[in-house]
Amino acid sequence: MSTALPAPCDADPIRSAEPFDVPTRPRLVIATTILASSLAFIDGSVVNVGLPAIGASFNAGAGDLQWVVNAYLLPLSALLLLGGAAGDRYGRRRLLIIGTALFALASLACAVAPNLRWLLVARFVQGISAAMVMPNSLAILGQTFSGEAKGRAIGIWAATGAAAGAFGPVLGGWLIDIGSWRFAFLINLPIAAAAIGLASLYVPADREGNEVPLDGTGAILVTAGLGLATWALTESTSRGWSLVALGTLAAGVLLLVAFVFVEKRLGDKAMMPLALFGSSSFVGLTLLTLLLYGALGGLFVLVPYVLIIAHGYSAVQAGAALLPLPLIIAAASPLIGSFAGRTGPRRPLIFGPIVVAIGFLLALRIAPGHSFWTDVLPAMIVIALGMAGAVAPLTTAVLMSVDAQHTGSASGLNSAVARTGGLIATALLGSVLAATGPALTTAFGVAMAIGAAICIASSASALLIDQ
């Protein structure tokens, strides 16, 4: 998915974090985790708005633009679980500081990139560092607070993440309009500097980590497998299927199969314990997450791109068009979460994706001569209401679908799956990004119709939930 929004279970791995020394200024610990996490939320949303400008700067084709997004999502999706495990072993504060510093350096490299290849490498490094920062910033929250204070800290973190996702595209669009897409990457530098400074001063020192070995083999296999499969899908949707693309896809699938066998051998020491999939509810929730967040990830890439290229919006106007999604989700999710707590998550997880599908169909009205107020805004509001109906219940359902021993693994995996959905969706957008003129509007309409169908399939996956 787009990292413009927190994934459903981003905040839940902190439940398994062990307490450590109580900090002298806990509010500054919250500020540290917010600043570090907001790097991922802001960067993901800003880059989506900047795709047209990046494409023009480097004369990049559709496949190149897909990789500007996926070079970041690939390592983030594949290494998110490993990043949390590394923090447990080597120290969460240490990983947070190193990851944030690496993210800042990679952002600077993006801003000064002389060519597209340089930019893609820097984006890949950003994804690696985000996989270090995200789980460990939340684990620090979990080990700093307990009881009701932990709940308040999570709420502050989630609300701020939604705000960053909301205003990131507007700020980035403004910087793009007044100067260059390169300025948008420079937003990360002062944020990273503040996060590192606060972490060094106010996050208590790490205790001695555990000696559980990291699942390095699994990490290599899943990253290589997803990478090859993503390249094949990107190549095929941009230039058509070829023997090379088919062979690459087959190799990627084989590596992912090998990853599953390695995880089975490692048991509960694996980064993806296969015991999780013994629950039909968890299987259904994983499929629901993959489909729903895949559709949303495609939306976050296509809507600003089409508004800028086909309909003459400025970058800041296109960014503002996405504002209703994070704002409505942040406002409505607590109410829906309370309702799901009383009635169970199954019903809202069936109806939420259906409402999102209706929003995708409303987006078909985004055509030449459309009005933002009567065509774009209603579609975004309906999609946001549907997502608000799914986000909180999805988190609840994931935690209910496994035993207490696996809640951390289940929530972390669900978050990684959400981002993998965005990775796959972006890889399939080549034919839309390659289109121009009236063909772009037509291709966008087809993509929105397919997105609606994917959301309906996501809703059907909720029927596997037994709560």
Give the global pTM.
Answer: 0.88
Start-to-end Cα distance in the chain: 26
Q: Any residues with CB less than 8 A from the CB of 253 and at least 6 apart, and which? A: 225, 229
CB-CB contact of 291 with 422 (8 Å) = no
Of residues 352 and 393, more confidence is placed in 352
The CATH code belonging to domain 13-215+271-464 is 1.20.1250.20
132-169, pLDDT tens digit by residue?
A: 998 888 788 777 777 667 667 766 776 777 777 777 88
pLDDT band at 262 (very low <50, low <70, confident <90, very high): very high
Q: Residue 309's pLDDT is what?
A: 94
What pLDDT does residue 148 have? Answer: 65
Say what angle helices 26-58 and 188-202 make with each other, to 10 degrees.
160
pLDDT higher at 252 or 327 = 252
Q: What are the tens digits of pLDDT across the range 391-408?
A: 878 877 887 787 766 666
Confidence of residue 25 (pLDDT cuts 50, 70, 90): confident
Residue 252, token pair as written in the block: 């990627």
Tokens 């607070």 correspond to: 145
| Range list of β-strands (E), 5-141 | none
Residue pLDDT, tens place only, 87-140: 878 888 999 999 999 999 999 999 999 999 999 999 999 999 999 998 888 788
pLDDT mean over 452-463:
95
Say which residues have a Cβ less than 8 Å from residue 440's Cβ, sequence separation at least 6: 306, 309, 310, 432
CATH 1.20.1250.20 segments of the chain: 13-215+271-464
33-47, 226-240, 294-308, 359-373: segment of lowest average pLDDT: 33-47
Contacts of 114 by beta carbon, 8 Å cutoff, 6+ apart: none
Angle between helices 62-90 and 26-58 in degrees, nearest 10: 160
Cβ neighbours of residue 375 under 8 Å, at least 6 residues apart?
362, 365, 366, 367
pLDDT on residue 461? 94
For residue 338, pLDDT beyond 90? no
Rounded to an integer, the average pLDDT of 45-64 is 90
Instruction: Output helix, strand, coil percentages for the chain, rounded to the nearest 5.
Output: 80, 0, 20
Pair of tokens at residue 219 = 């990490």
- CA–CA separation, 417 and 293 (whole Å): 9
Q: Burial of 274 by CB count in 10 Å (0-12 exposed, 13-18 middle, 19+ buried)?
A: middle
**Of the candidates 330, 269, 325, the residue with the CA atom closest to the CA atom of residue 296:** 325
